[in-house]
Amino acid sequence: MVSLDFISKLAHPADTKIILCVLDGLGGAPGGDKGLTELDEAKTPNLDALALKSSLGLADPVSPGITPGSGPGHMGLFGYDPIKYFIGRGVLSAAGVGLEMKQGDIAARINFCTVDGQGIVTDRRAGRIPTETCVKLCEKLGGELKVPGVEILVRPEREHRAAVLFRGEGLDHNIGDTDPQREGLHWLEPKALKPEAAKAAGIVGQFLAQVGKILSAEKPANMVLLRGFDAPPHLPQFADAFKLKAAAVAVYPMYRGLASLVGMKVIPVEGEAIKDEVATVGKIWKDYDFVYLHVKKTDSYGEDGNRPSKVHIIEEFDAALPKLLALKPSVLVITGDHSTPTLLKGHSWHPCPVLLAADTARRDGFARFTEVNCARGTLGHFQAVDLMPLMLAHALRLDKFGA
Amino acid sequence: MVSLDFISKLAHPADTKIILCVLDGLGGAPGGDKGLTELDEAKTPNLDALALKSSLGLADPVSPGITPGSGPGHMGLFGYDPIKYFIGRGVLSAAGVGLEMKQGDIAARINFCTVDGQGIVTDRRAGRIPTETCVKLCEKLGGELKVPGVEILVRPEREHRAAVLFRGEGLDHNIGDTDPQREGLHWLEPKALKPEAAKAAGIVGQFLAQVGKILSAEKPANMVLLRGFDAPPHLPQFADAFKLKAAAVAVYPMYRGLASLVGMKVIPVEGEAIKDEVATVGKIWKDYDFVYLHVKKTDSYGEDGNRPSKVHIIEEFDAALPKLLALKPSVLVITGDHSTPTLLKGHSWHPCPVLLAADTARRDGFARFTEVNCARGTLGHFQAVDLMPLMLAHALRLDKFGA
């Protein structure tokens, strides 16, 4: 890994185009008698044909053995050292719901919850209210909240989840969660974890008092719990760092938010299927030179431990692949931000399979895109943060280093 | 490689159990017409069967091309950056003979030697006196040595080797060796290599003068040579760093000492054979969640250039393997602390073959555990210091990093 600054000095504009396909949680682990992974099991004629003339490799999202959240997983793929450029859940959530954060803003994640008359939390998720209710409650809060000197924006995410942004002078994000983490306890007063956060903690306290009044007649969601107070990190933007005009095609809020944080243009997608995302890439193709395409459900089904469905999503991507190839990208990469084996029902540390297709890519000649073939591939076993320089290189967008 | 502190923050206790088998100097180099390594030659039906459903890889003990001593080799395997946490020979020897070192102590390695009437060294190893003689001489020294204000402990190792510890105020370990490195020269006065070591060098000088008198009538061992003055480094302990209750099963003193330095409980072994060590693991299995098992003779025969015997020891380990597997460890790793090819009759820089068996391990499907198969394995080519995070991950003992 070289520094982002090192890459930025070598990066230059070009006419070439790159597609980065992130199949969230793509990597798998052994299952069944034969110990096959989900990629082993999937029937993927188009990926197989592409693998034959591509370079394969395995990427560690952070470092061997480390299981990343979506934030670090994506930061690595986008070329940012995921330890140096750590992004908290609050910023992820806020960005993901379309709150464009500026330096000085602070944000937190909201869970709508149910409290009794004494403020005791009786349901931390308010019965997982439908998203429409969440939207309605956020609008109500937005219309009625008033804390002097501070702008407060509340945006719905999904079900009981939302995000809140506080914009004002001298706000520090070092504030404790107000979620007591289990039912039967009173929600916690926001506590300044550092002296400089005292002002912000006071404002959050006023916010909560007002929320309690505004929602008092609502059922079942009559209060909010706040978690993960955070401020946006300074992230060099894609256009400056890599000289790329970049677009993001993603259905889920968090990934749209991540892309937005590094300066990608987030493109609206009509529909939620992979083919809808691919069609969206086609529509904007002429206007961008880097497209990040995110497929969520490989991860969702991995988390559920639903092996047949995870396999099916890989096959669905395979079916959509020819339309991406028809765009003739100079460089096409297919990988994950981390592994989510159905075996573990959660993110894991297993390195991510990587396929890099380009006219300049050495051909491994493997007939299938699988983890084991990737382990023997010409890209080797590398850190995910090195993928961005590799893509830029194959797109002939990096100058020579030294004479 | 991430920092030990980074890993410590993610590590948590669990019910899973890990066995780390270190076959000292396991890795080999080509020999004979076919250029086979010792692992290639060995008949290992149990290792072969295990390899088929395990992950393989190659680990550099320190960095490509660097040949480690036993100290750095083990520090890496134990998860400590071997350059940052460097352990000198003196501390290794002292710990290995059961001298529990404290901060402020200094230690050195002793060779009993033969000197003539003028102090000229005529045999640097005193004819490799038997261990019993060494024990007797150490007891004699312990009973008669008296340097005011300093506690001096002398402990026998094997043959002509022993260790000495100095405990007192203001002792610095930067003292030159007193071993002239070849015969026909006078033993060297202990020299302070830094001004702050002047006091300690003076005390060592008094020690040597007394030793010369106490041993003057002994034959052949009538003097000592001191090497590798050292002080114990600050090593985060296994229980804190990795949340592991760890035990060490090793016959040789140095490896017991290394394990003790990182906070492992050193278990007595009845007998010296591999099967005796494996039986010991079985006896303590329920009380620990990490067991380090050390096999010495792969290295010893490597150093001797005795290829058939090194091959035989690998086969002896293979025969004992089923009893380890019967304990059903969550994670079992088989590797070396470095390579000791019989071709070179010494430690080498060749990366170490690694086999990692766990339900969560991707299956490489190789039918044999050999260096070449390891080079194509799914663990890839990594630094030995990353093995500990990998073992913890497969034992489901590391939290996710970030959201």
- B400 to chain A, any CB pair closer than 8 A? The answer is yes
- Per-residue model confidence as pLDDT tens digits over B13-24: 999 999 999 999
CATH code of the domain containing A263: 3.40.720.10
To the nearest whole Å, the CA of B365 is away from the closest chain A CA by 9
pLDDT at residue A316, rounded to an integer:
98
- A381 to chain B, any CB pair closer than 8 A? The answer is yes
Q: Do the domain assignments include residue A401?
A: no
Contact B352, B66 (CB under 8 A): no
Q: Do the domain assignments include residue B190?
A: yes
CB contact under 8 A, A68 and B400: yes
Kindly state the tokens that stand for A253. 């809020």
Is residue A251 predicted with pLDDT exceeding 80?
Answer: yes
- Per-residue CA distances from B262 to A74, B81, B90, B112, B166 (Å): 35, 13, 16, 29, 21
Search chain A and give the residue with CA nearest B9. A66
- B169 to chain A, any CB pair closer than 8 A? The answer is no
ipTM, two decimals, is: 0.86
pLDDT at residue A278, rounded to an integer:
98
CB contact under 8 A, A66 and B361: no
The mean pLDDT value of chain A amounts to: 95
CB contact under 8 A, A372 and B364: yes
- A107 to chain B, any CB pair closer than 8 A? The answer is no
Is residue A296 predicted with pLDDT exceeding 80?
Answer: yes
- Mark whether B225 and B251 lie in a shared domain: no
- Mark whether B109 and B80 lie in a shared domain: no
Q: ∠ CA(B95), CA(B1), CA(A3), 5° rounding?
A: 140
- Distance CA(B368)–CA(B376), nearest Å, equals 12
Length of chain A: 403
CB contact under 8 A, A371 and B378: yes
- A228 to chain B, any CB pair closer than 8 A? The answer is yes
Weakest mean pLDDT among A35-39, A375-379, B258-262, B292-296: B258-262
Percent of chain A at pLDDT > 70 equals: 100
A228 SS3 class: strand
Search chain B and give the residue with CA nearest A61. B401
Number of domains in chain B: 2
- Mark whether A199 and A322 lie in a shared domain: no
- Per-residue model confidence as pLDDT tens digits over A149-173: 999 999 998 899 999 999 999 999 9
Which chain A residues contact residue B403 at CB under 8 A? Answer: 69-71, 88-89, 92, 228
Going by pLDDT thresholds of 50, 70 and 90, the confidence category of residue A110 is: very high
Tell me the average pLDDT across B87-93.
Answer: 78
Contact A74, A91 (CB under 8 A): no
Domain-terminating residue out of A195, A230, A265: A230
The closest alpha carbon to B232, from B70, B82, B104, B78, belongs to B104
- Mark whether B79 and B192 lie in a shared domain: no
DSSP A141-162: HHHH--BTTBEEEEEE-STTEE
pLDDT at residue A254, rounded to an integer:
84
To the nearest whole Å, the CA of B401 is away from the closest chain A CA by 5
- Per-residue model confidence as pLDDT tens digits over A352-366: 999 999 999 999 999
Which chain B residues contact residue A349 at CB under 8 A? Answer: 389-390, 393, 398
Q: Which amino acid type is present at position A315?
A: E
To the nearest whole Å, the CA of A116 is away from the closest chain B CA by 30
CB contact under 8 A, A65 and B364: no
To the nearest whole Å, the CA of A346 is away from the closest chain B CA by 10
pLDDT at residue B107, rounded to an integer:
93
- A66 to chain B, any CB pair closer than 8 A? The answer is yes
Kindly state the tokens that stand for A207. 């916010």
Q: Do the domain assignments include residue B343?
A: yes
CB contact under 8 A, B378 and A380: no
Measured from the Cβ of residue A45, the count of other Cβ atoms closer than 10 Å reads 12
- Distance CA(B121)–CA(B134), nearest Å, equals 18
Contact A112, A224 (CB under 8 A): yes
- Mark whether A74 and A108 lie in a shared domain: no
- Per-residue model confidence as pLDDT tens digits over A91-103: 877 877 878 777 7
What sign does the dihedral B367-B77-B323-B360 (CA atoms) show?
negative
The shortest CB-CB distance from B401 to any of A69, A92, A346 is to A69
CB within 8 Å of A1: residues ≥ 6 apart:
A81, A383, A385, A386
Which chain A residues contact residue B385 at CB under 8 A? Answer: none
- Mark whether A221 and A262 lie in a shared domain: no
- Distance CA(B247)–CA(B255), nearest Å, equals 12
Contact A250, A119 (CB under 8 A): no
Is residue A210 predicted with pLDDT exceeding 80?
Answer: yes
The closest alpha carbon to B16, from B324, B277, B400, B398, belongs to B398
- Distance CA(B224)–CA(A303), nearest Å, equals 65
- Mark whether B250 and B382 lie in a shared domain: yes
- Mark whether B133 and B204 lie in a shared domain: yes
Domain-terminating residue out of B204, B230, B256: B230
CB contact under 8 A, B401 and A66: yes
The closest alpha carbon to A78, from A268, A189, A233, belongs to A233
- Mark whether A19 and A44 lie in a shared domain: yes
What sign does the dihedral A197-A203-A209-A212 (CA atoms) show?
negative
Is residue B103 predicted with pLDDT exceeding 80?
Answer: no
Tell me the average pLDDT across B390-399.
Answer: 98
- Mark whether A174 and A301 lie in a shared domain: no
- Distance CA(B147)–CA(B210), nearest Å, equals 9
Weakest mean pLDDT among A79-88, A206-215, A389-398, B58-67: A79-88
- Residue A119 half-sphere exposure toward CB, CA atoms < 13 A: 13
The shortest CB-CB distance from A69 to any of B363, B392, B403 is to B403
Q: Do the domain assignments include residue A390?
A: yes
Kindly state the tokens that stand for A190. 């926001």
Is residue A330 predicted with pLDDT exceeding 90?
Answer: yes
DSSP A232-272: ------HHHHH---EEEE-SSHHHHHHHHHTTPEEPP-SSS
CB within 8 Å of B255: residues ≥ 6 apart:
B22, B24, B70, B74, B96, B248, B294, B296
The shortest CB-CB distance from A71 to any of B361, B382, B403 is to B403
- Per-residue CA distances from B30 to A6, B27, B38, B57, B372 (Å): 41, 10, 8, 19, 11
CB within 8 Å of A32: residues ≥ 6 apart:
none
Contact A113, A218 (CB under 8 A): no
Contact A197, A172 (CB under 8 A): yes
Q: ∠ CA(B334), CA(B295), CA(B360), 5° rounding?
A: 15
Tell me the average pLDDT across B250-261.
Answer: 89
What sign does the dihedral B320-B325-B329-B330 (CA atoms) show?
positive
Domain-terminating residue out of B179, B211, B230: B230
Is residue B338 predicted with pLDDT exceeding 90?
Answer: yes
CB within 8 Å of A360: residues ≥ 6 apart:
A394, A396
Phi/psi of residue B143, nearest 5 degrees: -75, -25
pLDDT at residue A87, rounded to an integer:
87
Which chain A residues contact residue B364 at CB under 8 A? Answer: 372, 375
pLDDT at residue B257, rounded to an integer:
85
> Could you list the residue range(s) of the whole structural domain that residue A258 is in?
4-87+234-394
The shortest CB-CB distance from B377 to any of A66, A87, A375 is to A375
- Distance CA(A362)–CA(A356), nearest Å, equals 9
CB contact under 8 A, A30 and B362: yes
C-alpha R_g of chain B: 22
- Distance CA(A47)–CA(A29), nearest Å, equals 19
Q: Do the domain assignments include residue B401?
A: no
- Per-residue model confidence as pLDDT tens digits over B25-39: 999 999 989 999 999
To the nearest whole Å, the CA of B366 is away from the closest chain A CA by 11
CB contact under 8 A, B393 and A348: yes
The closest alpha carbon to A200, from A251, A165, A233, A232, belongs to A165
- Mark whether B73 and B202 lie in a shared domain: no
- Per-residue model confidence as pLDDT tens digits over B224-247: 999 999 998 889 999 999 999 999
Tell me the average pLDDT across B152-178.
Answer: 95
CB contact under 8 A, B382 and A64: yes
Search chain B and give the residue with CA nearest A373. B378
Tell me the average pLDDT across A113-136.
Answer: 96
- Mark whether A225 and A262 lie in a shared domain: no
Indicate the pairing of strand A352-358 with strand A380-383: unpaired
Q: Do the domain assignments include residue A216?
A: yes
Tell me the average pLDDT across B60-87.
Answer: 96
The shortest CB-CB distance from B2 to any of A63, A344, A376 is to A63
Percent of chain A at pLDDT > 90 equals: 91
Which chain A residues contact residue B376 at CB under 8 A? Answer: 375-376
To the nearest whole Å, the CA of B48 is away from the closest chain A CA by 17
Search chain A and give the residue with CA nearest B57. A375
Q: Do the domain assignments include residue A400?
A: no
Kindly state the tokens that stand for A122. 């009786």
Tell me the average pLDDT across B120-143.
Answer: 96
To the nearest whole Å, the CA of B242 is away from the closest chain A CA by 13
- B372 to chain A, any CB pair closer than 8 A? The answer is no
pLDDT at residue A93, rounded to an integer:
75
CB within 8 Å of B191: residues ≥ 6 apart:
B175, B176, B201
Q: Do the domain assignments include residue B399?
A: no
Is residue B301 predicted with pLDDT exceeding 90?
Answer: yes
Weakest mean pLDDT among B206-220, B230-244, B379-393: B230-244
Angle at which helices B70-77 and B253-261 pack, to 10 degrees? 40
CB within 8 Å of A148: residues ≥ 6 apart:
none
